[in-house]
Chain A
């Protein structure tokens, strides 16, 4: 079963912003918080040319990659049409103002 790991407080992530979680292996994970305080986690690697999605602008349930402007769905990791591509997602949950990531 999933192994929930405490990452940070919800307030450590700015609204419409993100934080980067560095792993020993497997690459960075980007954790996003939107205006409704929903939290999402994606592999920090754009399906286009591996841009760091964590550095993008967050809007609605999407993030726009800073390198060439692809839009990636935060909940499904799918590129928004007409672009095609996908990025792996991770389970996250918020409990008592703390963010946990399933690893």
Chain B
């Protein structure tokens, strides 16, 4: 049987992206044909600016080579413009007569530059700035002519002006508005921008209206005249005064248009067989002119073309960045503000830095940054997530570093970093490699960069830096996905949040039920979603859902930590960091009996036996169990250790019995699984020898009781724990810290440490749950104790209850 036919009109960024998304989720569904008016394969239009500026070549900005079309069995007609859509017979006709039938049609014809309706606008030398042809013409003009005039002081106009200037022309920008980029910047930032562009040699005529373009003797344009009579020479005029959605073809064929092809939230036009995406579209009355929203549209359209019928496009908030090397500018949302908004402004005209944040109802609704835009993506994320900012408001304007969000210092320097500078320490990836991959492979998202370069794919601490490199390389095309809606992994479109909510709401108790109810795209998930889903199940339904060992990472399956040579490490639990001569003797015996090559004292006050063969694990556990020791869970997304100091039991400074307190906490939390690892510490006085300030829960004894700190982290992101409250008794320490950990267990997303969780929901939220609501706190505490009530030692159970076959190799006789 032949496949249904999909025809795409417009071989540009939005259309081809839709096809890519479609191939990803349903590869062989359609016979696909693409018509493109331009004689090129799909290229990255936004990088025409660096091409004009001489920073890149056309070859480098091609997104889909001709081979890509071939490999995916796509018939490509370049240089053929569709002249007619025959909806009755479901076919399209190109200007050269080529015809093609369709079962589904996708229109992605983009837009065209708006040519001011003034006399002379059709003279040779007067062009728009849209495609490779225009760019070539500008590059060519720069070699033969002197005076360029750019009409329009928006993003496109300024990038064109900058490029022409770099190519040696004398450039004047004519702008009708009172300052540059008035749709992206407020007046202060607009003036600062103008000043630095003037320093680069550009000239500006603001609040100036063009009246006519005047022909010279050669027939080419020679001058431009403004209202009021002033006239300046011009051998090249670039119109960058706006774009017009390209919907004439659709309108002619009777598809309903209103300043764009009108589509619903599934990107379908009024003709159900016809979808449209990109700049030619009017969605809820808005036509977008940036790629980030178009890519969101592409994803939705692909889903519906694939026949899955899920996903709606509900509109986008956009942010912009000017791609002029050496100028840093960022704006997003409602940056002008109004009656019911407040503003935080930082203005340092000498340092060339200006930042304005617009706040409404304790939420960030917009912002402008000039000179220092390192925090742009972070602000944009806060804005999209609608995060309540009132707890970080004091230091918000100083950026993410001061709010204490990212540990690696110097990260705000992405643009200034040398290409040879190492960005990802785990995988040894330099900035140059990342930039190269972004440009050469046409990467747009953090995930894509992770996949292709391995940067930020191990510990993730450099993710912020990689995002900045992305933003500075591709400009406004980069939008971080809102955390709430970011899909868990490639197996699903659902976010962690959505999956957790669905598990509770629909009472889903097995992974199969979840995959079915939420329409997973893969039969049994992947190494990312299965462990997450398994954790969500066992934490939501502690005695009901069954743990699935095959969905756990090997460490949690083998109850030991895998090492780089495939051996394992064994860490017996030492409650509160205490041990006994008998235990030490048993550990020493086991180490000798199983030829353990390395014995080490860990940072968490435990003893680590490294280099154990997997088949020896059960035997070694049996010996340790016999001496009264149990698993130390040094391998799990679980409670790891409670460190303690000497405390009032011995120390001359001690105010509280930190060792006793630590042991109580550790016994309470034994075998607790959590979104990520959990570490605690208890110090007997504020000298804090147990380093409680960098723990998920830190307890510090004071004369009148204990101080509790939460959300600290000594790892990748060194994060100081924040003060939660002061309590009087040991019982209260258990109740408050237990309740907090249960809240985190119920709401945290898999692999989110307490510090990340806290950053997402805010300390105030946690206080409202744990401090202000006594009944709620007791309920959390109860649920924690209840879910741990029959905790067993996994070393014991995997020896006795579960099949221990996994530990036994099958030996082949030679």
Residues of chain A whose beta carbon lies under 8 Å from any beta carbon of chain B: 5, 7-8, 12, 14-17, 19-25, 28, 34-36, 49-52, 55-60, 62, 64, 66-69, 71, 82, 103
Q: Is residue B125 within 8 Å, beta carbon to beta carbon, of the partner chain?
A: no
- A56: B residues at CB distance < 8 A: 527, 554
| Chain B neighbourhood of A82, CB < 8 A | 451-452
A22 engages B812 (CB within 8 Å): yes
The smallest beta-carbon distance between A31 and chain B, in angstroms, is: 8
Once bound together, how far apart are the Cα atoms of A64 and B813, in whole Å? Answer: 29
Q: Which residues does chain B contribute within 8 Å of A57, judged by CB atoms?
A: 526-527, 530-531, 550-554
A36–B510 CA distance with the chains assembled, in angstroms: 18
A28 touches B809 (CB 8 A): yes
Taking CB atoms and an 8 Å cut-off, the chain B residues in 475-534 that contact chain A are 522-527, 530-531
* Interface residue ranges of B792-814 to A (CB < 8 Å): 803, 805-806, 809-814
Q: How many B residues touch A, CB cutoff 8 Å?
A: 32
**A102 CB → nearest B CB, Å:** 12
Asked if A20 meets B810 with Cβ closer than 8 Å, knowing A59-B526, A68-B458, the reply is: yes
Q: Which residues of A contact B531 (CB under 8 A)?
A: 57
B558 at the interface (CB under 8 A from A): yes
A62 to B558, CA, bound (A): 20
B616 to chain A, nearest CB (A): 14
Closest chain A CB from B559 CB (angstroms): 13
Q: 7 A-B contacts, Cβ less than 8 Å apart?
A: A14-B806, A16-B550, A21-B810, A58-B550, A59-B527, A59-B530, A60-B522
A35 engages B812 (CB within 8 Å): no
Cβ-defined contact, B564 with A49, below 8 A: yes
Q: Interface SS of chain A: helix, strand, loop or mixed? A: loop
Chain B neighbourhood of A14, CB < 8 A? 549-550, 803, 805-806
Give CA–CA (A16, B553) in the complex, Å. 12
B307 adjacent to chain A (CB < 8 Å): no
Contacts of B554 in A (CB 8 A): 55-57, 66
Residue of B nearest to A64 (CB): B527
User: A35 touching B523 by the CB < 8 A rule?
Assistant: yes
A69 to chain B, nearest CB (A): 7
Interchain pairs with CB closer than 8 A, number: 90
Q: B812, A66: Cβ atoms under 8 Å? A: no
B463–chain A nearest beta-carbon distance, Å: 16
Residue of A7, A22, A25, A66 near B562 (CB, 8 A) is A66
A67/B562 in contact, CB under 8 A: yes
Give Cα A20 to B808, complex, Å: 8
Most buried by A among B530, B549, B812: B812
Q: For the complex, what is the distance from the CA of A23 to the CA of B812, rounded to whole Å?
A: 5
Name 16 extra pairs, CB < 8 A, besides A14-B803, A71-B527.
Answer: A16-B551, A17-B806, A19-B805, A19-B806, A19-B810, A21-B809, A22-B811, A28-B809, A34-B524, A35-B523, A52-B562, A55-B562, A55-B566, A59-B522, A71-B526, A103-B812
Min CB gap A71→B, angstroms: 8
Within 8 Å by CB of B524, from A24, A60, A66, lies: A60
Instruction: Tell whether B457 is near chain A: CB-to-CB under 8 Å.
Output: yes
Interface residues of B in 525-546 (CB under 8 A from A): 525-527, 530-531
User: Which residue on A lies nearest to B552, using beta carbons?
Assistant: A57
- A67 close to B564 (CB less than 8 A): yes
Contact A60 B523 (CB under 8 A): yes
User: How far is B564's CA from A68's CA once the two chains are assembled, in angstroms?
Assistant: 10
Distance between Cα atoms of A34 and B451 in the complex (Å): 25
Q: CA of A58 to CA of B806 in the docked complex: distance in angstroms?
A: 14
Instruction: Please state if A7 and B810 are interface contacts (CB–CB under 8 Å).
Output: yes
CB distance from B561 to the nearest CB of A (A): 10
- Residues of B close to A52: CB separation below 8 A: 562, 566
Residues of A within 8 A of B452 (CB): 82
Query: Could you say which of A20, A24, A67 has the most chain B C-beta atoms within 10 Å of its C-beta?
Result: A20
Give the distance to chain A from B447, nearest Cβ to Cβ, in Å.
12
A5 in contact with B522 (CB, 8 Å): no
* Pairwise interchain contact A24-B558, C-beta atoms closer than 8 A: no
CB < 8 Å neighbour of A8 from B522, B527, B806, B810: B810
Inter-subunit contact A21/B812 (CB<8 Å): yes
Interface residues in B765-798 by Cβ distance below 8 A to A read none
Contact with A along B128-152 (1 / 0, CB 8 A): 0000000000000000000000000
| Residues of chain B from 364 to 403 with CB closer than 8 A to chain A in the complex | none
Give the interface centre of B549, B552, B566 by most chain A CB atoms within 10 Å.
Answer: B566
